[in-house]
Structure 1
C-alpha cells in the first residue's frame, strides 16, 4: 500500500452519532487520560486506551490478534524518541467510545512497552477520532464531555479563546509567547510535562547565567519504550500562556526532543475545551501555573527482569549525594520487600509510594537511605 493510502487509512474514522452531548468516563493516571473502548461490540471485554491529542490511533498487537483485526499494510513508524520500528496498519470495523459509535477506524499496531501497556491494554485513542467534534476536559470534576455543537456547552466569564491549527494527523498546534518571541507548540495530552522543547529551541531562551537541572538515565517514554538520555530542566523568564503572563515557568528538553509540546500538566490549571470543528481552544483557568514546582526524591525507579532498579538520577540531589547511582538495585521500599510479579504491579505500588513526601529505600547490600522530596530550581 502506498504511503498516501496508509495516511488515509490512519486518519479515517466515521462517526454515526449526530446531535449529541455525551459524558466520557475516564481516569487520570501517571499524567495521562485513560478511557474505555469497545471493539466489534464485545462489551464484556472493554479495553483501556490513552486519550492522546499528540498521536494517531494505535492498538496493541495482542489486541489486533485477539479481535482478528483487518491488517491492510505494514510499514515503518517512528516515535517521540526518534526510534523507528515495524508497525502494522489495521482497520477496525466497529469501535465504541462511551456512546460514540465509530466505523472504519484506522489504527497503527505494534507491541507497546510495559509502561504504556499497563496504563492502556488496548492502545491509544488519537487525534483522528477527535476531529470534527468538541471535547471538554475538567479533571477537577473528573469530567470529559464530547459534543458536535459548541452551543451545547457553557463557559464562565474569563474563559479565553485561542485559535489552533491541525496537521495531517489532526494534531492541534497553538502559539505561545516565550521571552517576547512567538513559538509554536503541539498540544499533546499524551505528554506529561507542561512545556517540553527541543534543545535547539531551548538554546534561544536559556541565558548563560540560567540555572539548569540535569536528570540522567532513562529518558521519556515513547512508542518503543524509553532510551538512555539526559533531560534538562530550566525556568523560562517569561511565558505568555493563553493571554496570561507568567514568570519562571519550568520547562524541559533533551537531545531526543523533536517538537515543542505543551502537555497534560496543563489540565491541572485549566478546564480545556478543544473545538476541532472551528479550530478554537477555550481555556478556563482555575489554578495558577506560576506555582508549578519540580519536586522529586531525586531519582526514579523502573522494573526489569524481576528487579527494581534506579532508572534516573537528579544531579546534585540528596539521593546522588547519598551514593545512589543508576542501576542500583532496590530490595525494599518503605520497609516493604520487592516481590512484584509484573511490571503493572510494580507501577501501581510505585505510584502510591511516590505520592508521599518521604521514602525509605533498602539497597542491595544492606544499606538503607531515607529521602525527603526536594524542590529543584527554586525561584
Structure 2
C-alpha cells in the first residue's frame, strides 16, 4: 500500500506460498503473528491507511472530542460548530504533546493542550498561544492542527492518517448496494461490550471469515445458521465477506432464533433470511442481521494483544421504546464471541511455538484466503 516502507520482514518463500492459487496456498508466515517487527511494520504499512476509528454517535455533541490510537497513527476526533466531525493528528503544534491521551474523551468549545495551554478552535485553527501575543514574528495562521482525511460513511468514521491511501470510494467499492438497505446511519447503538484478547488482530479476522470451525465450537450458532450455508462476495474494493442463511424457523441470530425487536424496514426477502458478514479491512467487522447490526472494532495493541469493542445497533422505533431489552442479540453474540476468543487465543499460543508452520486452507476457507492474500499483497510493499 505504502511503497516507501519496503516489504514487511517476513520470509519471502512463505509469503509466496500465501499468494498461491486457492487450493494450493498456505496461511501467512508464522512471523506475521508473533514477530513484533512485523507488527510495527503493519502500523505504517496497513493501519496508516483507511481504518475505522469509531461511530459518529461516539462524538455526538458540538465540542465532543475523543482520542483514538497513539503514536504515529494517533487521531483526535472533534465535532465542530458546524456539526461535522473532523480528524486531526493528536499532536500540539507547539511541542508535540498529545491533546488528549489515547481513549480519553471530553466536551468543550476549544481544543486545549494540557502541557502549555495552547488552544485551538474546533476547526483546528490556533486560538491562543500564551506568551506569543506580543511577538510580531509569530503568525498564528501557520500553526493550526494537522487535519487528516476523514469520511463519515453510513455512520462509521474512517480516517486515513497517511493521506496516501486510495480514494475512499475505491476502498469501499461494490459495497453501497450491500450496506445501504440496512440503513446503519439510522440505527441506534444500544449495547457495547469491550474485550481485550491475547491474540494477534489477524487471527480474529481470519476466524471471522470462516465457519469451518462452527460445528466444533458454536453449537448454538450452528442450530440457527447451518455452517455450510451461504457464499462469499467478490468485491472490487478493500472489503471482503459473505452471507450465511438461517433455518426457516428463525427470525434472527439468537439462542432460540426469535427476535425481541423489529425487522429493519425495506429489506429484501433474502436479507430477511440471512446474515451478511463483512470485513471492513483492516479493523472493522460488520454483521448485518434482519433486525440489528453488530460491529467489532479491532484496535491492535501489540503483536499478541488486541482490543475489541463490540456494538449492537437497532432500529430507532424499537431502541427508543421504554423497556426494550436487546439481550436476545447481545447474550447470543457474547456467548459466541467468547467461544471465538478462546479459540483465537489458543491459536496465538500455538503459533508461538517455534515448530509452527503455515498450514493449508480447507475448501470452506475461501473467505480466509481473501483476507490472507490482501495482507500478503500489503506485505510485499
Of Structure 1 and Structure 2, which has the larger fraction of its residues in helix?
2
Of Structure 1 and Structure 2, which has the larger fraction of its residues in strand?
1
TM range (shorter): under 0.3
Scaled by the length of structure 1, the TM-score of the pair is: 0.22
